[in-house]
Amino acid sequence: MADETPTPDPEREEPTPAQQEEAAEAAAASEIGVGDDDVAEAEGDAPAVGAQRAEDEPAESVEAAPAATADESLEAAPAEDEPAPAATADEAEPVETEAVDVLDDEEDAAPRVKPAIPGMDLDVDIVEEGADPLAEREAEEAAAAAAEDAADDQPIAAVTIDLGAEARYRATGKRKTAVARVTLRPGTGDYTINGRPLDAFFPRSTLQRTIRQPLETVGYADRMDVVARMHGGGVSSQAGALRHGISRALLEAEPNLRGELKRRGFLTRDARAKERKKAGLKKARKRPQFSKR
């Protein structure tokens, strides 16, 4: 293969010695970090390369100035996500004072120290020897109960019952298994139960007081007689049945007494009764003990 020798281009002009010296100086300046403008200013005879290009190119093709660095851009333009500017000094002062107060309180508050003996930090409630700490409460409850009983014992005002010579008011009272058929008539306050006086039929004073309650409440204890026929139940049950019958008879005489008598419990039917024994059981519900063998 024959050696190919480059043929010289007649159109290409070779640089003159002056141009070669300029190119060498520009290369040396670029190596040591000196710009074209500095070289131009130092020489004073050749314009800067950047300025020459700006003059040769049109205004539209001129490139924009280099962007600023990240730190300069952050300082120049405020961020969109930044909060609104802080309030004035007058508005910020209360917040600072509150924060200072909170810090002072936290510093002043001493941590709670757990006592070595549980309950040692509690106040001691000393009760004198022989004194009853619950006596005062019991006395108050007793006084309230006495006041309520006194209010119940007072006769009902504005009670008007027709007490004609032939007036008879009949009713039936019950409690558990006792039944009392009662008749109220004008009289002097005598009680006749199965042909016997009240003291003979009910010797206990508590039962006598229970029976007299309805007539004493309406204020006719000495103006009406009570005649009753009774059967069933025991002594206490018969006394409750008689009071129930007298209260119902008073309703026959004056229906407006219902509210007061019911509030005192005179119209309540006590239906409690002993439950009958069932076949196969020892009592009403008691079962015999199961034995596997």
Residue count of the chain, please give it.
Answer: 293
Q: Give the per-residue pLDDT at 39.
A: 43
Tens digits of residue pLDDT in 124-172:
777 778 777 778 888 888 888 887 766 666 667 667 788 888 889 999 9
Q: Give the per-residue pLDDT at 122.
A: 78
pLDDT band at 101 (very low <50, low <70, confident <90, very high): low
Is residue 39, in this structure, part of any structural domain at all?
no
Tokens matching residue 97? 């004072």
pLDDT band at 65 (very low <50, low <70, confident <90, very high): very low
- Could you give the 3-state DSSP secondary structure of residue 217? helix
Q: Give the per-residue pLDDT at 145.
A: 81
Is residue 14, in this structure, part of any structural domain at all?
no
| Total domain count, the chain | 1
Is residue 111, in this structure, part of any structural domain at all?
no
pLDDT band at 5 (very low <50, low <70, confident <90, very high): low
Is residue 225, in this structure, part of any structural domain at all?
yes
Q: Give the per-residue pLDDT at 117.
A: 81
Tens digits of residue pLDDT in 237-257:
999 999 999 999 999 999 999
Q: How far apart (Å, rounded) are the C-alpha atoms in residues 288 and 282?
A: 6
H runs (alpha helix) in 109-192: 135-153
pLDDT band at 211 (very low <50, low <70, confident <90, very high): very high
Tens digits of residue pLDDT in 16-45:
777 888 888 887 766 655 445 554 454 544
Is residue 65, in this structure, part of any structural domain at all?
no
> Between 96 and 257, whose confidence is greater?
257
Tens digits of residue pLDDT in 188-197:
999 999 999 9
Q: Is the dihedral of CA 219, 222, 225, 230 positive or negative?
A: positive
Report the number of secondary-structure helices (H) and strands (E) in the chain.
10, 5
Is residue 176, in this structure, part of any structural domain at all?
yes
Q: Give the per-residue pLDDT at 287.
A: 96
Q: How far apart (Å, rounded) are the C-alpha atoms in residues 29 and 108?
A: 72
Q: Give the per-residue pLDDT at 118.
A: 80
Q: Is the dihedral of CA 219, 221, 226, 231 positive or negative?
A: positive
- Could you give the 3-state DSSP secondary structure of residue 270? strand
Is residue 162, in this structure, part of any structural domain at all?
no
Which residues have a Cβ under 8 Å from the Cβ of 3 and sit 6 or more positions away?
none
Q: Are 266 and 213 in contact (CB under 8 A)?
A: yes
CATH number, domain with residue 182: 3.30.230.10
What's the domain range around 258? Answer: 169-263
Query: Helices 36-43 and 17-31 sit at what angle, rounded to 10 degrees?
Result: 130
Is residue 24, in this structure, part of any structural domain at all?
no
How large is the average pLDDT for residues 257-269?
Answer: 92
pLDDT band at 293 (very low <50, low <70, confident <90, very high): confident
> Between 34 and 228, whose confidence is greater?
228
How large is the average pLDDT for residues 99-122?
Answer: 66
Amino acid present at 248 = R
Position 64 pLDDT exceeds 50:
no
Q: Give the per-residue pLDDT at 289.
A: 94
- Which of 277, 78, 265 lies closest to 175 in space, CA to CA? 265
List beta partners, residue 224. Answer: 186
Q: How far apart (Å, rounded) are the C-alpha atoms in residues 267 and 171?
A: 12
